[in-house]
A and B are shown apart, each in its own frame.
Chain A
Amino acid sequence: MSDTLTLPRRPRRLPPRLRRNPMAALALGLLLAIALAAIFAPLLTSFDPYETALRQRLQGPGNGHLLGTDSQGRDMLTRLLYGARTTLMIGCAGTAFGALLGGSIGLCAAFYRKLDGVLMRLVDVLLSFPSILFGLSLAAILGPGLDSLILAVGLSVMPGIARISRGAALSVMTQDYIESGRAIGLPDHRLLTRYLLANAYPPILTYTTLAFGDAILLAATLGFLGLGLQPPTAELGGIAAEGRAFLFIAPHVSTAASLLIFAIVLSFNLLGDALRDAGDRRAQ
């Protein structure tokens, strides 16, 4: 009986599973490296991402600049590091917002059964909704920029997280301790946070991590379309778009930025597949 009362505080440890999947381990390593490089960007490069040097514009790799320079003569490696910083930050903020919103919707749908039908039908419609449309609408209402970008990313990851949260919360709702909590007269908000969320969060957390790849892809795509942060802000999608004008003289500018986005998203997806496979095996 005692083990049903202890609340599982931590999600299951994953590294042993990842060790069996070299691709996923590689992906995780790459992601960590990119994240660290982005966080410590100022320590890794002596160049300024915004200082222009027009005489050194559009240089190829080498010659004092490891990855060459862009159309304003700025060091490409520095731009990429700071760009990754911005893009990852937008991904984090957007996903966090989406997780908060989606998690609340999912938990409420499981807790207040009367709301379930309405909430989940809306979520279902939004689930396959083209996420770019969120970006377009918000950019049209708020103007292109950081806030519209973060909101768009949040809205696009929200439906998936809402579904997962509801599923996780529904299985927790069948537990005796929820009934006990009700019986001793705990208020709803306490039941929702201390009982429901505290026990349902591991799968929500896993899914949220995986939604990150899609979030980054959306943020970069909106940035590329010019609906995100405006130049000269270093942002990966924006850098790829800047390079588009010089595609034939200096293809390295857009290629490097696109490749970095691709590497980040691919790593998240590989990691996600590995986690899903691990989950399947556990289910069997």
Chain B
Amino acid sequence: MMVRLLRRAAVSLVVLTGVLLIGFLMLQVIPADPAVAIAGPQGTEAEIEAIRRHLGLDQPLIVQFLYYLQRVLSGDMGHSVINNASVSAELLRAIGPTVELMCAAMLWAVPTALALGILAALRRGGIIDRMVMTLAVMGVSIPVFWVGLLMIQFAVRTRAFPIQGRGGPLWTLDGLSHIALPATALGLILIGPIARMTRTTLSDALHADHVRTARAKGASETRVVLNHALRTAILPVITLIGLQIGSLMGGAVVTETIFSWPGVGRLAVGAIIAGDYPMAQGAIIFLASAFIIVNVAVDLLNELADPRLGART
């Protein structure tokens, strides 16, 4: 188990380096001189020269990459070419809203999807099952931006929810009403895959030997389903939830853009369109690294949760 984890961590480290290399490349291919870009529109000739020396732009690329790594690891990601704001500071401000949005989406979507999956598995072939399966395939096919646009139209017609930006803290009505639409739109991405996986694993588990034994012992149906069948069925579902973090993050980029949610995704899209390379670089390597780290964490949790995985190696 240790070997597996270490190997996994080593691969992640390689990929992480790859991500940073891409971030580095983003700054290399800027049509303009990076030193000019970082100095900003007001930079003087002397400042540019100083930055060039400071960045080691006269050194070979590999040395420059090492410098870049050193800077990024110490939290310095450069400055926006648009308003000279510190990329790290902007990122720090955007992380909170993004995490908040993703958590809010999971908070409603995961229990809903589990409930739908359980209902579908219990009445396989029934009306609920068919509805769940239809919803599942529609959910993965519908463009997230369309869901967002439909919600905005609905919200404006009914005047029920604000359609833009982030409100106060989440425990206030203002905060809740602002996050309601983006979190609903984002959560919909998760419903299909999770409900489907729960349905499949649970209906398999319902035919397993230990569940038949529990039934034979006279346990109530609720107890059989929730305590015996679901217990074994839930592990692959947890793995899947971990795997869905990627699509959740992708969805967050779109939802944030549509609802003007001040998160990392909107920051990245805005920066790319505005040609703000340092900001785009910072936001993208942040998103990619966060994804890789969360994935390793999910893997670790999986190993801890499933004793069989440990026994295999």
Contacts and interface: CB of A to CB of B under 8 A. Distances in A.
Contacts of B29: 141-142
B249 A128 contact: no
Interface string B27-58: 00100000000000000000000000000000
Contact of B284 (A140, A251, A269): A140
Most central of B25, B146, B249 by chain A CB within 10 Å: B146
Nearest to B192: A269
B295 interface: yes
Contacts of A5: none
A262 interface: yes
Contacts of A217: 141, 143
Nearest to A272: B137
Contacts, number: 127
B281 interface: yes
Contacts of A266: 137-138, 141-142
B142 A225 contact: no
Contacts of A273: 137
A139 B272 contact: yes
Interface in B1-46: 7, 11-12, 14-15, 22, 25-26, 29
A125 B250 contact: no
A130 B250 contact: yes
A129 B141 contact: no
A87 B151 CA distance: 25
Interface in A187-223: 213, 217, 220-221
A130 B29 CA distance: 23
A171 interface: no
A133 B281 contact: no
Interface residues of A, number: 44
B149 A240 contact: yes
Contact of B145 (A128, A224, A265): A224
Contacts of B149: 240, 244, 247, 254-255, 258
A140 B280 contact: yes
Contacts of A270: 137
B188 interface: no
Interface of B: 7, 11-12, 14-15, 22, 25-26, 29, 137-138, 140-146, 149, 152-153, 156, 243, 245-247, 249-250, 253-254, 257, 268-269, 271-273, 277, 280-281, 283-284, 287-288, 291-292, 295
CB-CB nearest 10 A-B residue pairs: A258-B146, A132-B250, A266-B141, A130-B250, A265-B141, A130-B246, A140-B280, A128-B246, A121-B11, A130-B249
19 contacts: A124-B11, A128-B243, A131-B246, A133-B284, A136-B253, A136-B283, A140-B272, A140-B280, A140-B284, A141-B25, A144-B272, A144-B273, A240-B146, A244-B149, A247-B152, A254-B146, A258-B145, A265-B142, A266-B138
